[in-house]
Structure 1
Amino acid sequence: MKRKISALLVLVLIVSLLGACSKNESASADVVKNNEGSSNIQLEDDSGKMIQMDTPATKIISLYSAHTENLFALGLDNEIIGIGRSDAYPAAVMTKDRFDYRADPEKVIAVDPDLVLIRPRIKKSNPEFVQALENAGITVVSLYPDKFEEFPHYIKKLAILTGKEDVAEKLLTKFDSDLKNMENMTKNMKNKVNVFFESTETEYRTITKDSMAAMAIKLAGGNNIAADAKATRKGTSIASYGEERILEKADQIDVYVSQRGAMNSGGNLHSISIRPGFDTIKAVKEERVYTINEKLVSSPTFRFSKGVLELSRMFYPEEMDNLDEFKKEEPLTRAQLAKMAVKFKHKGIFAPTSKYYKKERKGHSFGTFKDVTINDPKFDYIETAALSSYVDTDKDHFYPDKKVTRDEFAKTLYMLTDLKDQEGTVNIKDIDKAENDRIVEIVVENGLMTLKQGNFMPTEMITEKEAVESLEKIKEIK
């Protein structure tokens, strides 16, 4: 009798363990690193195909911009031998050969990659292309996280394929920390704004409640007024909404955000305001219509945290862009000046598109400063300020730690606002020592900077506190 009971217990235990393993495998979506047998790497991609590789990939072609961006974030560069047609971030993509999944697969086969990364839509729309690569013995992996909660798992798959698991863990830890910090900053905002997010101008569609963009709105402290929207089809975050439902909530929409990207040109305040009936929307009447690059809020990359910050700046500009951090009696650096200027203007950070690189540029191009890396905390502020001409730069260097002179700051003030020329109403004794003499005169005439015993002292360093005081005077003369 005891033997029968023991056998029964063992059987129950085995069944329980198998059930637990099955649940665990389901939860982990079959991501495995296996050192036994003939394959060192084993995982299931998002098409349900089991992938096996002996070693991490070293010759990679990425045919989706998010994959490309995340590969660079993982510390890969030389390993990336090709990218897609529209990839635009980071700036290093410009050194890579471009490939097109709508073109002849022989171009890809000829360079003999050991990994080609795609997303499910590519396999669905161009199955012959994918099949040709697989027939040539090339490993093709299809990945795409449909929901925000799937992002960490997606990054871990990329990391396993490329041998960057440790880097991925650090990046995901920081990513999670950044988002929690943002949520803590915005969750107690008073008078939370109602937001309508236009994902495409076509039929004025929005986003599903479990999408990356919907999560960005939530973390930024906004209330998604279209949370009841339904997906246009299975496997997409684009949701139906339409003109009628938007106008029904016209007086409730505090902020209107229009997404711009490869698939959507996006509206702006003017183009949205002239749509029939849209001038009744509260956000339009109060000029709280904003545009945002889709890569910041709808694309599964680490830049998502930047997108959340950008949305919060749109929702709560006075709180998120206040200049309190600069009110110190310390010399103002060029990096601090860039951040100060962008915040003062409530200027959205610059995010390049593939079209940006097709133009001839005589001066600085995005991401090419030799003394400001993409990992610099002020990278986006510096790039945005430089490309907006708020701060003078040369083509290749920004000199972020250099102290700002009164002469240089006067020019920034001039670029930040429209000032009236008072035609020499103030006498400046040392104006001949100023490089930007006429600008200095105009700034002083408008009361934005003061003289010391009749002298401007253009080469003297300006403090952060003095700079903020000058910026605050701009508001007084408007």
Structure 2
Amino acid sequence: MLPVRRFLLLPLLLVLSLTACAERQEDAPQTPADSSGFPVELKPEGAPAVTLEERPERIVSLSPSTTEVLYAVGAGDQVVAVDEMSTVPENAPRTEMSGLSPDPQQIAGHNPDLVVVESDTDGKLADALAKTGTPTLVLPAPTSLDSMYAQFELVGEATGHEKEGADLARQTKQEIEKLVADAGDAGKGLSYYHELDPSFYSVTSETFIGQVYDLFGLTNIADQGDPSAHGGYPQLSAEKILSADPDLVFLADTQCCGQNAETVAKRPGWDTLTAVKEDQVIELEDDAASRWTPRLVDFVRAVADGVTKAAA
């Protein structure tokens, strides 16, 4: 059975401190929503279409990624409650509600006119909330960067901030493309290991996170000939990692588990790794690479800096 943290992180995925992108989200001006585009039909990828008759004024978000995007498009003033895992921005109205096991009664207590969740596989939540006249918008984890950009635009449409959503998608895409272009071919021929926790859970190239590394031409040691194995989240062994000897190690367990370049170097045998000897153990912000938000730019920047340094 996967550790508890896996169940919290994996659905949110698919890095550095909360720098420029986080600041953009928290400081994004809360522009007045435009009601002229309503009613609007929303067609999220991999989820049921939803029609909003009016601009929502009381939004409950049970998806940490969507919470960030809501604020980034300027709809923060419309958000009345978020789930316990929505830690960014800091001023979001956090509650003890769970996005993994949402309680319709708890949600209804906030009198929302729109509820956003990451999944509702059996449709029970949507059915329960529909009885109160509240629409449920399901926004699954994007499967690609293009899907992420499309979600930015959709959140803008859903909240009356269509222009802001389109601008956010365009700006994020441009920043990522520039980082990749500036790195050029620096990543080709280099291998990496992405660590989700100290028990060596990792990601393959088929995951959202893995696709970011693919932009730089890096080789993922976790693929092991079958990137689709274990749902894209295999648990490696220390022996496998040491044998693969990755050129770069990316740690996405710095906050949850206190991992850093020093702790990695102290692991038995790890001081022989190329990444350790060449000072290529890169400490990431735990959730920056697991949430489809504008902060993904920070993760891409960390990868770009790592491959550029390793190739120098």
Which of residues 126, 145, 150 is equivalent to 2:147? Answer: 150
Matched, 1:316 2:311: no
1:249 matched residue in structure 2: 244
Q: CA deviation at 1:111?
A: 2.2
Greater fraction helix: 1
Separation of aligned partners in 2, 1:229 and 1:149: 24
1:227-238 mapped onto 2 (5 Å cutoff): 227=223, 228-231=225-228, 233-234=230-231, 237-238=232-233
2:205 matched residue in structure 1: 209
Do the aligned residues in 2 keep the contact of 1:259 with 1:266 (CA within 8 Å)?
no
1:33-52 mapped onto 2 (5 Å cutoff): 40-45=39-44, 48-52=47-51
Of stretches 140-149 and 101-110 in structure 1, the one that deviates more from structure 2 is: 101-110
Do the aligned residues in 1 keep the contact of 2:86 with 2:94 (CA within 8 Å)?
no
Separation of aligned partners in 2, 1:289 and 1:97: 33
1:123-272 mapped onto 2 (5 Å cutoff): 123-124=120-121, 131-144=127-140, 145-189=142-186, 193-202=190-199, 204-219=200-215, 222-227=218-223, 228-231=225-228, 233-234=230-231, 237-250=232-245, 253-260=246-253, 265=257, 267-272=259-264
Do the aligned residues in 2 keep the contact of 1:148 with 1:211 (CA within 8 Å)?
no
Q: CA deviation at 1:233?
A: 5.0
Q: Deviations over 1:136-171 (max 9, x none)?
A: 332111112133332122222222211222212222
Q: CA deviation at 1:283?
A: 1.4
Q: 1:190–1:41: structure 2 CA closer, same or farther, 3 Å change rule? A: closer
Superposition TM-score, scaled by structure 1 size: 0.50
Give the AA of the match of 1:304: L
Do the aligned residues in 2 keep the contact of 1:216 with 1:297 (CA within 8 Å)?
no
Separation of aligned partners in 2, 1:266 and 1:127: 38
Of stretches 78-87 and 193-202 in structure 1, the one that deviates more from structure 2 is: 193-202
Separation of aligned partners in 1, 2:185 and 2:154: 35
Separation of aligned partners in 2, 1:318 and 1:294: 22
Q: Deviations over 1:210-244 (max 9, x none)?
A: 3332233244564434344534555xx53444334
1:280 matched residue in structure 2: 272
Separation of aligned partners in 1, 2:208 and 2:159: 25
Q: CA deviation at 1:311?
A: 2.2
2:23 matched residue in structure 1: none
Q: 1:229–1:240: structure 2 CA closer, same or farther, 3 Å change rule? A: farther
Do the aligned residues in 2 keep the contact of 1:133 with 1:140 (CA within 8 Å)?
yes
**Cα RMSD between the aligned structures?**
3.2
Q: 1:170–1:47: structure 2 CA closer, same or farther, 3 Å change rule? A: closer
Separation of aligned partners in 2, 1:104 and 1:164: 28
Partner of 1:166: helix, strand, or coil? helix
Separation of aligned partners in 2, 1:272 and 1:158: 39
Do the aligned residues in 1 keep the contact of 2:195 with 2:253 (CA within 8 Å)?
no
Give the AA of the match of 1:294: D
Count of matched residue positions in the alignment of Structure 1 and Structure 2: 273
Of stretches 279-288 and 178-187 in structure 1, the one that deviates more from structure 2 is: 279-288
Do the aligned residues in 1 keep the contact of 2:44 with 2:138 (CA within 8 Å)?
yes
Matched, 1:301 2:289: no
Separation of aligned partners in 2, 1:53 and 1:73: 21
Separation of aligned partners in 2, 1:246 and 1:306: 26
Q: 1:195–1:57: structure 2 CA closer, same or farther, 3 Å change rule? A: same
1:74 matched residue in structure 2: 73
1:85-100 mapped onto 2 (5 Å cutoff): 85-93=84-92, 96-100=93-97
Q: CA deviation at 1:286?
A: 3.4
Give the AA of the match of 1:98: T
Separation of aligned partners in 2, 1:43 and 1:103: 22
1:444-463 mapped onto 2 (5 Å cutoff): none
Give the AA of the match of 2:300: V
Q: Structure 2 regions of 5+ residues with no counterpart?
A: 1-35
Partner of 1:294: helix, strand, or coil? coil
Separation of aligned partners in 1, 2:294 and 2:64: 12
Do the aligned residues in 1 keep the contact of 2:59 with 2:79 (CA within 8 Å)?
yes
Separation of aligned partners in 2, 1:87 and 1:128: 23
Q: Deviations over 1:66-89 (max 9, x none)?
A: 101001111112101111112222
Superposition TM-score, scaled by structure 2 size: 0.74
1:105-124 mapped onto 2 (5 Å cutoff): 105-120=104-119, 123-124=120-121
Query: Quick check: which has more Rg, 1 or 2?
Result: 1
Separation of aligned partners in 1, 2:66 and 2:102: 20
